[in-house]
A and B are shown apart, each in its own frame.
Chain A
Amino acid sequence: MKRNSVAIVGASETTELGKIPTMSQVQLHADAALNAIADAGLKLSDIDGVATGGHNAVEIAHYLGIVPKWLDGTSVGGCSFMLLVRHAVAAINEGLCETVLITHGESGRSNLGRHGSSIFPSLFQQQFERPFGVTRPPTMFTIPVLRYMKDFGLSEETLAMVSVVQREWAAKNPRASFKDPIDVNDVLNSKMICYPFRLLMCCLVTDGGGALILTKSDRAKDLKQKPVYIRGSGESCETPMISQMADFTSSAAFRVAGLNAFESAGIDHGDVNHLMIYDAFAHLPIYGLEDLGFVKRGEGGDFISDGNTRPGGRLPMNTNGGGLSYMHSGMYGMYALQEGVRQMRGTAPAQINGAEISMVHGVGGMFSASGNIVLTNVK
């Protein structure tokens, strides 16, 4: 990928987040799209490429009145938006289109105009998992964790600290769903959902959306916002079935996407000033830190509980409060990207002063897929 050749020039979430009973899912896409287009200082008619995940891309384009020259409907769960950014960079550099709109909208809580699953159903899962009582993500995503806890001596208290630290970031964010401080006992005493996971170790379920506008970097300087360049990226997938994850203590998709992101960006771990690791559940930042190589295997939990990722720590992570406390409509990846853009623009509620490189990691499905985007504000 051509480093810094494409920039994010427009970025916005939906006007509201949380519970939005006045909008169906397609309108959440459109609300975010119109906000992002205005943010960029562009018009709908400037958009010639459309991409979305979790919703029919044709419906989004038609709803917005766009007949695009390029279309991408990659839908591999919550990290779809990382993959779409990566694909859009390639499409723009190849000259397939000039200005790409990537949208996300999800009526995760109100369930308005939401049809079908955001992830393709798996043939094998139907036969070899669903008969054993797996239903929603908490019954699947959590399954590898007891293996990790035994192999690496991770305690429930340390796991709970992930939620505690993220709430510290959420407290700084006016748009976060949950802002009140919590401690380890609050987490461990919250309702048991799927042992060993309590309620406060599981993500929120909300309504919302977000959108991004991408174009060539040399065009970006004439636009309204400080450009945020795509410096590197990676993507991969492993398995549609949690039971078939090769190693229950490490995600192959995380490792491949992460390595490609570092290599294409030409950066080392010490260059990353700001990190987003998709946190649908409390164990994900632990796996992410390890699989992306920020810490050694087995050290992710202590790294977080020791305070390295909390406000004031040396590796600020999930600075919006994350899926655990900020918002999680179902496909959280777009919100992680939005926070990466805000940090690179210098407009985040919990701004990391002087941050120049942000890594935004995403997961799709239950460790099924992964995408990783490296953002920067210096060319």
Chain B
Amino acid sequence: MDNDQRELPKPTPETQHFWDGTRRGELRLQRCKSTGEVYFPPRHFCPSSGSTDIEIIRASGRATLHSYVISHLPAPGFTPPYAIAIAKLEEGPKMMCNIVECEQTPEALILDMPLEVSFEKVNDEITLPQFKPAEK
């Protein structure tokens, strides 16, 4: 991948902790202290209860392959065909990602296969949370 051409995230006040986390090798989620619900994407309150009594937690990084497509269309910074995937995190939320260290084929990408987070440093500011097949 030519990293320079990818559209990179522009962190906002609500999401800065997430991107600070990936830079340090941590996948961060938020949890509502009153209901225990873990949610994503980040915001200053729990979208289920409306409570602002929330905490930032470090996710295990374990996930499963929930769904994906293999795009054959051109995209800046990507060499088709490449998979755009959804990791379902152990804690519950879903997250879009690419599957790294894996062939980009239907034969290699099996639904519900275990994944683990893999941090891809793009530059000093941005590290993307990617996923790879979990080591047995």
Contacts and interface: CB of A to CB of B under 8 A. Distances in A.
A132 B97 contact: yes
A150 B111 contact: yes
Given A194-B72, A195-B70, A146 B111 contact: yes
A147 to B, nearest CB: 4
Interface string A76-110: 00000000000000000000000000000000000
Interface stretch (A3-11, A135-143, A217-225): A135-143
B44 interface: no
Given A131-B128, A139-B84, A194 B12 contact: no
B34 interface: no
B24 interface: no
A266 B103 CA distance: 52
Interface stretch (A37-45, A122-130, A304-312): A122-130
Nearest to B97: A132
Contact of A133 (B6, B10, B11, B67): B6
A144 interface: yes
Contact of B69 (A130, A136, A194, A244): A194
B111 A126 contact: no
Contacts of A196: 69, 106
A196 B6 CA distance: 24
A210 B97 CA distance: 38
Interface in A125-184: 126-136, 138-139, 142-147, 150
Nearest to A243: B96
Interface in B57-110: 66-73, 75, 77-78, 81-82, 84-86, 94-98, 106
B41 interface: yes
Interface string B2-29: 0000111111100100000000000000
Contacts of B111: 146-147, 150
B70 A134 contact: no
A193 B72 contact: yes
B70 A127 contact: no
Interface in A222-268: 241-244, 248
A139 B85 CA distance: 10
A192 B84 contact: no
A133 B95 contact: no
A298 B11 CA distance: 39
B8 A133 contact: no
Given A127-B15, A133-B82, A143-B67, A138 B73 contact: yes
A126 B10 contact: yes
A194 B95 contact: no
Nearest to B105: A195
B84 A132 contact: yes
B98 A248 contact: no
B23 to A, nearest CB: 14
A139 B75 CA distance: 10
A124 B9 CA distance: 9
Contacts of B128: 131-132
B70 A194 contact: yes
Interface of A: 123-124, 126-136, 138-139, 142-147, 150, 191-197, 241-244, 248
29 contacts: A123-B12, A126-B9, A127-B41, A128-B41, A128-B95, A130-B9, A131-B6, A131-B128, A132-B97, A133-B75, A133-B77, A133-B98, A134-B96, A135-B73, A139-B69, A139-B73, A139-B84, A142-B69, A143-B68, A150-B112, A191-B72, A194-B70, A194-B73, A195-B69, A195-B70, A241-B96, A242-B96, A244-B41, A248-B67
Given A145-B67, A146-B111, A243-B96, 11 more contacts: A127-B9, A128-B9, A131-B9, A132-B84, A133-B71, A133-B84, A147-B86, A192-B81, A193-B71, A196-B106, A243-B86
Interface of B: 6-12, 15, 41, 66-73, 75, 77-78, 81-82, 84-86, 94-98, 106, 111-112, 128
